[in-house]
Structure 1
Amino acid sequence: MTVGCLFIHGFGGAPYELEPLYKEIKEHSEWELSIPILPGHNEGESLKESEYMEWVHKAENDFKKLKAKCETIYIIGYSMGGVIAAYLSTIYKVDKLVLLSTSAHYIDISQIAKDLWKMAKDGIRGDLLENDLFHRYIRRMGNAPASASLQFQKLVGEFRPYFKQVTTPTLILQGGEDGLLPQKSARYIYNSIQSTKKTLHFLPQSKHMVCHGPDQADLIHMCFEFLSHSKRTESY
């Protein structure tokens, strides 16, 4: 049985957001992996003229290429990529779905205030550049003009209803300290999905970039076990 796994990154981001998980699966499986860069997100490109359906079509085209080569297909979507992944699972046969920090709702203002305060304290100590959330905000501010942010909001608004059509076995993971999404986003997804095989787990110490957070080892273990039905014994 040939297995293919499609990774879909988030808005304003790139494959680096999923890189630790991608590398681990690549090293410990013989699966065919695909991790495309969505239009406007590559180095040197601008999101200014991007339209959200371009992002959806790119992911869909890469899914079709993978499907042509593989009998079994998994999709791992991060943030906005999770919304696209869920949508694809409603129009194509997807065997398993992993949704990481998926954007079914918008920003939790109170948590952002806490995160910004932590960034300020990091700056005072001289290690602001070590703060992963700081890098995330800087990247978004540099690459996401207002027009692109509006496209992102349109995508979430249009495709949110598709969560209620998902019947694929699904693993939902979100950071317990996510400053960009409220926890109700993950709970909404869990309650909406129609599959009887679904799991929701909050990674207690992680922020939005869960693949790079302090719970990284747990995330990799849960994803690997969910997708492959086998437990990892290696240390991370």
Structure 2
Amino acid sequence: MPILPGAEPIRHDGSQTGVLLCHGFTGSPQSLRPWARHLADRGYTVSLPLLPGHGTRWEDLQVTGWEDWYATVDRELRSLRARCSEVFVCGLSMGGALALRLAAKHGDDVSGVVVVNPASTFPRLEGYALPVLRQLMRSTRGLTDDIAKEGSHEIGYNRVPLHAAYSLRNLFRRLRTELPEVTQPLLLLHSRTDHVVPPSDSALILSLVSSTDVTETVLEDSYHVATLDHDAERIFADTHGFISRISARTTARDGA
């Protein structure tokens, strides 16, 4: 199945500092493309993969699960580690959950984490109904373009396949037990108004991680897809500043 125009993965060879970006559920690399380009323009080695089942048609997502999505970013992280001396992981929404799991599982191979409107829970009523509903219907209405900025558009599915949604719920359940294993420096940015992921998800993540170097930033002028919204430039600049600060600290420690 052809990839939707604009949903293609991005890879850029740069410095010994690598950055892996993870897009969200039913979305595509398009939602993070400006973020990836900003980091590539500052000389980093950047990888923004297309997750299985995404960027084509929603029926393709129906036959995948969280293990497939995580396996993809896990491979990308290992590839970056083979070429770079340090790697940072970043993500939007479900991509934030994947980035946090990478940090939990890979320890010192991840130097820092940046997440934007990260998801960690599933709506309670929908979650309870999913085991039955997914046997009765294939999909439900999707929610894309939760963006405050006029004229900005997200490439994503307008249907959510319920088998994949059930798998997503299982990913969040697993992640919550693993968050205490996250010890790396963490930059978490979340929108004041988000119609997809509640701010309480960010609060839950902050309460469970074991990181001691934590920065929380509230985005006042963006909705869920903040990387395409009014606060995008702040996200990009803060990410670069975060990576530069951690890299400099690591270099100084190694030199000492």
Q: TM-score, normalised by structure 2?
A: 0.75
Partner secondary structure for residue 201 of structure 1: strand
Give the whole-Å Cα distance in 2 for the aligned partners of 1:33 and 1:217. 18
Distance 1:39 1:172, change over 3 A: same
The alpha carbon displacement at 1:100 in A equals 1.0
1:70 equivalenced with 2:100 (yes/no)? no
Counterparts of residues 8-19 of structure 1 (less than 5 Å)? 8-19=22-33
CA distance in 2 between counterparts of 1:108 and 1:223 reads 32
For 2:183, the equivalent position in structure 1 comes to 167
1:141 matches 2:163? no
CA separation of 1:183 and 1:95: change in aligned 2, threshold 3 A? same
Which of 85, 106, 124 is matched with 2:99 structurally?
A: 85
Quote the offset at 1:3 in angstroms.
Answer: 0.8
**Alignment partner of 2:34 out of 14, 20, 23:** 20
- Aligned residues of 1:107 and 1:182 also touching (Cα < 8 A): no
The offset of 1:108, in angstroms, is 10
Name the structure 2 match of 1:98: 114
Structure 1 CA distance for aligned equivalents of residues 191 and 124 of structure 2: 13
Match of 1:203 among 216, 219, 222: 219
Name the CA distance, whole Å, in 2 between partners of 1:173 and 1:108: 24
Counterpart selection for 1:229 from 245, 248, 255: 245
> Which residue is 1:36 aligned to?
49
Partners of 1:186 and 1:200 within 8 A in 2: no
1: CA distance between counterparts of 2:156 and 2:68? 20
- Per residue, is there more helix in 1 or in 2? 1
CA distance in 1, matches of 2:233, 2:151: 19
Aligned 8 A contact 1:8 1:82 in 2: yes
Is the CA contact 2:55–2:156 (under 8 Å) kept in the aligned structure 1? no
The one-character-per-residue Cα deviations of 1:114-140 (angstroms, maximum 9, x if unpaired) are xx9xx9xxxxxxxxx9565xx55x934
In the alignment, the residues of structure 1 paired with residue 190 and residue 86 of structure 2 have an alpha-carbon distance, to the nearest angstrom, of: 25
Query: TM-score, length-normalised on structure 1?
Result: 0.81
Unaligned runs of 5+ in 2: 1-14, 126-142, 247-256
CA contact (8 A) 1:83 1:160 kept: no
Would you say the 8 A contact 1:108–1:182 is kept in 2? Answer: no
Taking the aligned partners of 1:57 and 1:170, their CA distance within structure 2 comes to: 22
Matching residue of 1:58: 72
CA deviations on 1:14-65 (whole Å, 9 max, x unpaired) are 11111111111111x2221111111001325711111210111111011111
The farther-off stretch of 207-216 and 157-166 is 157-166
RMSD over aligned CA atoms reads: 2.6
Give 3-state SS (helix, strand or coil) of 2:216's partner.
strand
Query: Do the aligned partners of 2:117 and 2:199 also contact (CA within 8 Å) in 1?
Result: no
Instruction: State the Cα deviation string for residues 146-177 of structure 1 (Å, max 9, x = none).
Output: 11111111111122221121000000011111
SS at structure 2 position matched to 1:202: strand
Letter of the aligned partner of 1:161 in structure 2? Answer: T
Q: Kindly tell me: are residues 131 and 99 of structure 1, through their superposed partners in 2, closer, same or farther at Cα, counting changes over 3 Å?
A: same
Query: Residues 83 and 104 of structure 1 are in contact (CA less than 8 Å); yes or no, is this contact kept in structure 2?
Result: yes
Match of 2:5 in 1: none
Local SS of the residue matching 1:97: strand
- CA contact 1:190–1:199 (8 Å) conserved in 2: no
Any idea what SS the aligned residue of 1:23 has?
helix
Point out 4+ residue stretches in structure 1 off by more than 4 angstroms: 129-132
Name the CA shift for 1:65/1:84 in 2 (closer, same or farther; >3 Å). same
